Structure 1
């Protein structure tokens, strides 16, 4: 039977409200595992499956009184409020950071986006504390007919960041300018439910009337029919409000008109918990509530009131009134790729916590009963970890999933002076983060990307450990370092190449396929210069050629082109053509374009996302820039302006302005200047930071360079698939020295058999240089920096002498010093 609510406008006009309470995250539904940890098709097919997984209790802490649900104030940091007035700030390990007393009874608090906590106390007091616990009483309210020493409602924060709470017949708020606002209901009416909206709040009075309130104004009210008595509230993204009552559900638009009202086929056992908004099937918004004394958790469509799904949380025995939490995307249990879901955490009277996949409408997994009393509130800490309150206890717990870590071989044998990328043949059963460690770095060391570098003959183990919260997995891989066995030989020849009616003397140096190679940086840093022979000897190279362009006419001698060394991007140029060397000795060539896209606290979505469009490049004073500085830059960034964010081992350790920041050996520094400086606001000390490297070609198409360990970009391209392919302008070149002039040139070409030839010539135009490459048998070829930078080195001798110190080179050798 349909229900109709009667709407009467008290004063003012109805104002459209907007809210943003619902939260979704990318991915598919959370994979279900049986108790054995293996996929279970029968479980996956069941909408009511209750999947019990292994559980870790991380810590447990006694509170100073009965606790409300914990509030997340920063990455991994919590604040708890006890009803007797005690407030405790804790870090992610449960250590108390600050403990204080408001010296009055308190109600349930609310935390805004800035980590500030509002909490209401006896006699209509409002308290405000910042994320570190600094604060106190912010307002004391007076109104006609006020009775002292009563307990207020919970505090809520609307979409504009303004706190609201109810006391007797008053709905009280505090505006940003400090003005206290009082909206009075009829004096005999008390507030039984209150919920934040985009602007203001919705409240239900003891007289059975729904009120929309903004500041001092009641913008509209509607009398509720009997089946809607005892309703709980939740606002939706459309600006309206959904009411969930024991016998009925209803919804009102922002202007007070009825969206729907309908009776339930069966009354909820004991009524409903306070509902939360989630994303259901077909991306429809749903209001999710659980039975106070039953096992059902139900999602009602916010557009029609129809059930979107219903699950039975077997053995729950009912839920506490404030037991449901919607996990933020960054904090939700890791979903499978492609999902779009809301994850609802529900605390049962049995003490268990259920994680509900709000999109699929099923129990994804269960925390199996650490609490002895009903859970009164839950905070999602990330990676499936949660903290929840049970009476006077605060408990941090979480599931873990077993991850199989396998390598293609049972052991590794690696000769000295050869490197190996472990991830090339490492297989994981889940997309998780891992860390590496060597049992003996004096025999072999391994970096954070999984690259193994032999140091001395001997044996040790390489450990691979899963580090993603909520997952466990480890592999110990034996490794034996043997004496060097490589015997690649280079061959130098002076060749006379005839193009048209002109002959050219070309110095060539043949390099066999698979000969070890890396980018040789002057003094092993980005932004300095050195003799070509000095660079070659520093790396113990048998062959070397100057590589990418650099600033050679004043200023810091930084590269212009992209540089990748040891699998890491050390400079971004995004012009010209790049040559890349993979772990199996294959050579690739393309118009490489690189982007760095970052995230914080596990999320790459706004407002957690960030970016850097340069690496190790000094910004111009007064310019706008977003730059990453790595240890290859040196000990410091080299200038003192902008905002510097220092990251060590994936954690922000320092944020400083106008400082010549230190670059950590185990991290990097992000510097933002000009209009990009606002990006630095997305970081706080303690923030978890990660980034991805995107690689495309000049046309924006993704290219697979994940197995490239060494690359330099210069250009233009000279030969493609054995044919002349000179077209500098589209690659970003405009200088006559490239487009038309004749000059000293350097180049690198690849033959059909995968071998390489390094070449220099005394004078040629770019087109002539390309024709020379074809004559030399190039299948692929590209130009390198030229002019006074052009240089070639072989077996301890300079063949072509550069006319200046240079910034970088490609170096080859059987016994390279990495």
Structure 2
């Protein structure tokens, strides 16, 4: 679960309502109330080429970009929307459908672009004659190394091609190299002095063009046949034709050959291409099949009929500055050819007639390494060090159970709790009448007065579109939501106890209150209750009450945001639909920079809004709930606004931005600060588990407080204080004034205090009062209970925090 202290661009909690867009694009449903990224699921646009161009015309949306840090080779698109990448200097990279880095390995060798066979294996070549095999999860290693006398260290082979039998082939000088199914190395040689110019796959084996202008067919270690193409091989390009043959373009000549080397056609063009041909792409389709050729330094793309080489159309793309070797790819579902130019722009060209369907210039001008299709009009484009996912705008289907909101004063509702949108996308909200109801950037609706309003929800993710207006009706609070006080006599063990109780009906609004509404401050219990308009209140988690900052010790969640971490004891949580959770909650914060959570980009924080002891080692996150300043001046601080580092400082009482947070690293953790520089993009995630290490879903919790130990579970006393991490005698064995909270079978909540009791006696008392689930809260001098305007149990000190209940809470 992600608790965000501030909403960052591109990380709003995604929600939405039913929207009839009239277009057939639908993706996965949104997980409730989670921070989500733009989904990469893609449905095909119409298969008709003429319709594809009209649907995609003018679309110039960039979904995400990824910086590799080194110059990329052509990308390999993976099923599911991710990409397998290599860099020229030796990085193997895997990114998911949202551009998040999953794998980063340094092979320390010059690498080729990755190629995937039908069996899913991914092949790469590297310097010194190395061949690597990987899978789509980034697992792999060196599969073979080919030796040439005196050449091994300097040997830089070509990229791999994979034949119809999933055998990988590549070449070096005059040798065509391959690896068979048994892992045996194979080599076929062209005549001495004749270097291989290019390979393309055949059904079995490869076609190889030699520097002598001869076309060779090779399978394993055998040279099956050769035919003189009658061309100057320099600058010639090959492409498999999709039916077992091969296409050739060289200067003014284009030709097609069959599987056995028979010439199918040969044509002479009226003029040579500018700079020669850089890429060929075959588009099989029977009599309608074609192949596209791209000029190396000119702006033209030319389409030829696959059967006889007749020219079909010629398109000049102004400003392209030529096209690179990996420039062309097919977006077959939409009938569009993707063309990556040397100027750094990407063009979508309708295969049928050469019309420009759309264009992108997503990165600084840089020679394009290549382009790949993800389907549905979405493409991956590598240019320099950047990989960009782009494509047409997509409609978002939005749904909500009832189509309108009915709220009472004093309640709140988080739209993402039940709203869905498909595919998942970021959204923004606005209210048309803030005097009746307001809505936060996270989608939390708060009624202000009786009346009617409307919440507009707009899709904000690049490449997606959609809007819905949600009616809101606010009524007065229900008269039945009252706090009932009672003093009850209960016998536990050999003693009789007077227990002060306040019973609250199921559905009573609840929130977490803090002194001065900030973490790390104190106020009287009655003052906290009155400032929030509560009818009932009880002290919450433990806190530092004897000097220094009055920082809490336990878990705190307020307004759906994590406010403090305390990984001991038990936590009670309240969800947006009124469900009560109770667990031995354990929370971790882990983060990343510039889209990577792997070393050296990873970081962590194990405290939140808690001042570390000077001289100790700590990694702390401070959110706006702490106040305007962190409150001390030591350690290394990193200020983050809207997901971007804006300041890095030493020994500074840093300001906490309203739209971000401050990370502070002290002692042995100060080295983590070196991973941040001004301009670094930062993100993080919060993971919630129980004491046993099992992931637990607290995504729908808006209010929570941790103390403990757990006293009652499923109607029975369940005291395991030492197991929960408690070591103090006042918890384990001694008697003291106690506060606690429990839930009864009918869903009502009971707040309770009593005089001097051991923890076992406190558990037995709760069971006798009808508790189904129950836990201890801070006690001793902190024990306090408030109801209906009066303090029933007077705390012996000012308090750091309290649980507050009431039908008309002031949020």
Shorter-chain-normalised TM-score: which range? 0.5 to 0.7
Aligned length: 591
The answer to whether residue 324 in structure 2 is matched with residue 322 in structure 1 is: yes
Residues in 1 aligned to 2:660 and 2:399: alpha-carbon distance in whole angstroms: 27
Q: Residue 410 and residue 259 in structure 1: after superposition, are their counterparts in 2 closer, same or farther (change >3 A)? A: same
Deviations 1:317-351 (A, max 9, x none): 14567353999xxxxx9xxxxxxxxxx987389x9
CA distance in 2, matches of 1:666, 1:591: 31
Aligned residue number for residue 564 of structure 2: 571
How high is the TM-score relative to the length of structure 2?
Answer: 0.62
Q: Counterparts of 1:72 and 1:59 in 2: how far apart (Å)?
A: 15
User: 2:774, 2:782 → 1: CA distance?
Assistant: 19
Aligned partner of 2:170 in structure 1 is: 243
After superposition, the C-alpha distances for 1:714-741 in whole angstroms (9 at most, x for unaligned) are: 0001111111111100000010000010
Instruction: Check whether the contact 1:295–1:315 (CA below 8 A) recurs between aligned residues.
Output: no
The 2-side partners of 1:651 and 1:389 are apart by 23
Q: Distance in 1 between matches of 2:241 and 2:604?
A: 44
Q: Is the 8 A contact 1:245 1:271 kept in 2?
A: no
> Which one of 25, 33, 44 corresponds to residue 37 of structure 1?
25
Residue 648 (structure 1) shift? 2.4
Residues 57 and 395 of structure 1 are in contact (CA less than 8 Å); yes or no, is this contact kept in structure 2? no
Separation in structure 1 between the aligned mates of residue 763 and residue 455 of structure 2, nearest angstrom: 46
SS in 2 for 1:232: coil
Matched-pair contact (CA < 8 Å) for 1:741–1:765: yes
User: Could you say which residue in structure 2 is the equivalent of 1:23?
Assistant: none
Name the SS of the counterpart of 2:771 in structure 1: coil
Q: 2:209 & 2:455 partners in 1: Cα distance? A: 57
The 3-state SS of whatever aligns with 1:580 is strand
* Counterpart pick for 1:693 among 649, 672, 686: 686
- Aligned in 2, Cα 1:717/1:37: closer, same or farther, shift over 3 Å? closer
Q: Name the CA distance, whole Å, in 2 between partners of 1:247 and 1:318.
A: 26
Q: Which residue of structure 2 lines up, in the alignment, with residue 370 of structure 1? A: 359
Residue of structure 2 equivalent to 1:815: 808
Structure 1 unmatched ranges of 5 or more: 1-33, 61-70, 80-108, 114-157, 164-194, 203-209, 225-230, 273-290, 299-309, 328-332, 334-343, 356-365
**What aligned pairs does 1:137-156 form with structure 2 within 5 A after superposition?**
none
Q: Deviations over 1:633-685 (max 9, x none)?
A: 00011222333332223333333333222111122222233443443444444
1-side partners of 2:358 and 2:476: how far apart?
56
1:122-201 equivalences under 5 Å are none
SS at match of 1:534: helix
Secondary structure of the structure 1 residue equivalent to 2:391: strand
**Cα deviation per residue 1:462-487 (whole Å; 9 max; x = unaligned)?**
23333333333333323233343454
Please point out which of 768, 779, 784 is paired with 1:775.
Answer: 768
Distance 1:728 1:234 in 2: 61
CA distance in 2, matches of 1:518, 1:409: 26
Residues 609/251 of structure 1: CA separation in 2 closer, same or farther (3 Å cut): farther
Deviation at 1:580?
Answer: 1.0
Deviation at 1:450, TM superposition (A): 2.0
The 5-angstrom pairing of residues 387-426 of structure 1 reads 398-426=391-419
Aligned partners of 1:722 and 1:779 also within 8 Å: yes
Partner residue in 2 for 1:464: 457
Counterpart Cα distance in 2 of 1:515 and 1:618:
34
For residues 654 and 78 of structure 1, the distance between their equivalents in structure 2, rounded to whole angstroms, comes to: 29
8 A contact 1:367–1:399 mirrored in 2 = no
Q: Which string of whole-angstrom CA distances, capped at 9 and with x for unpartnered residues, describes residues 536-572 of structure 1?
A: 1111111111010011122211111100111111011
CA shift for structure 1 position 218: 6.3
Shift of 1:406: 1.9
Deviation for aligned residue 1:704: 2.4
- Residue pair 1:546, 1:791 contacting (<8 A) in 2 also: yes
**Aligned equivalents of 1:270 and 1:460: distance in 2?**
71
The aligned counterpart of 2:608 is 615
Matches within 5 A, 1:10-89: 36-37=24-25, 54=56, 58=60
C-alpha separation between the residues in 2 aligned to 1:812 and 1:711? 13
From the superposition, tell whether residues 385 and 311 of structure 1 become closer, same or farther in structure 2 (CA, over 3 Å): closer
Q: 1:387 offset after TM fit, Å?
A: 6.7
Q: Taking structure 1 as reference, are residues 220 and 728 closer, same or farther at Cα in structure 2, changes over 3 Å only?
A: closer
User: 1: CA distance between counterparts of 2:408 and 2:641?
Assistant: 32
What SS does structure 1 have at the residue aligned with 2:764? Answer: helix
Out of 497-506 and 559-568, give the one that drifted further.
Answer: 497-506
Q: TM-score, normalised by structure 1?
A: 0.61
Q: Is the partner of 1:713 in helix, strand or coil?
A: strand
Report the equivalent of 2:738.
Answer: 745
Provide the secondary structure at the position in 2 that maps to 1:729.
coil
Question: Does the Cα contact within 8 Å between 1:295 and 1:312 map onto a contact in 2?
Answer: no
Alignment-derived partner of residue 265 in structure 2: none
**Residues 647-656 or 421-430, more deviating:** 647-656
Q: Secondary structure at the match of 1:738?
A: helix
Counterpart position of 1:644 = 637
Structure 2 CA distance for aligned equivalents of residues 270 and 698 of structure 1: 64
Provide the rounded CA distance (Å) in 1 between the counterparts of 2:754 and 2:161: 73
Moved more, 317-326 or 530-539: 317-326
- Structure 1 residue 232 and structure 2 residue 127: aligned? no
Contact 1:57 1:397 in 2 (8 A): no
Task: Give, in whole Å, the separation in 2 of the partners of 1:679 and 1:434.
Answer: 33
Partner of residue 89, structure 1: none
SS at match of 1:760: strand
1:196 CA drift (Å): 9.8
Q: Which has the higher contact order (CA 8 A, sep 6+)?
A: 2
Check the 8 A contact 2:540/2:705 in 1, yes or no: yes
Per-residue CA deviations over 1:104-144 (Å, capped at 9, x if unaligned) read xxxxx98999xxxxxxxxxxxxxxxxxxxxxxxxxxxxxxx
Query: C-alpha separation between the residues in 1 aligned to 2:328 and 2:724?
Result: 49
Unaligned runs of 5+ in 2: 1-21, 28-40, 73-86, 92-105, 112-123, 132-144, 163-167, 190-198, 212-235, 244-280, 297-322, 332-336, 350-354
> Which of 413, 433, 438 pairs up with 2:431?
438
> Match of 1:490?
483
Asked whether the 8 Å contact 1:513–1:585 carries over to 2, the reply is yes
Distance in 1 between residues matched to 2:578 and 2:450, nearest whole Å:
23
Decide whether the 8 Å contact of 1:548 with 1:561 is kept in 2. Answer: yes
Structure 1 residues 59 and 417: alpha-carbon distance in aligned structure 2, compared to 1, 3 A threshold:
closer
Q: Residue 170 of structure 2: SS of its match in structure 1?
A: strand
d(CA) in 2 for partners of 1:478 and 1:487?
Answer: 26
Cα distance in 2, alignment partners of residues 439 and 748 from structure 1: 39
- Give the C-alpha shift of residue 352 in structure 1: 6.4
What do residues 245-304 of structure 1 show as CA deviations (whole Å, max 9, x unaligned)? 899852699xxx9566698538669999xxxxxxxxxxxxxxxxxx95648799xxxxxx
Kindly provide the CA deviation profile for residues 737-758 of structure 1, in whole angstroms up to 9, marking residues without a partner as x: 0001011110111100010111
1:455 and 2:457 matched: no
Cα root mean square deviation, aligned: 5.2
Q: Give the deviation of 1:611 after TM superposition.
A: 2.8
Partner Cα distance (2:292, 2:541) in 1: 69
Confirm or deny that 1:760 pairs with 2:686: no
Larger mean Cα displacement after TM superposition, 711-720 or 692-701? 692-701
Whether the aligned pair in 1 keeps the contact of 2:503 and 2:749 (CA below 8 Å) is yes
8 Å CA contact 1:160, 1:198 repeated in 2: no
**Is the Cα contact below 8 Å between 2:128 and 2:153 reproduced in 1?**
no
State whether residues 323 and 347 of structure 1, in contact with CA within 8 Å, keep that contact through their aligned partners in structure 2. Answer: no
After TM superposition, give the deviation of residue 422 of structure 1 in Å. 0.5
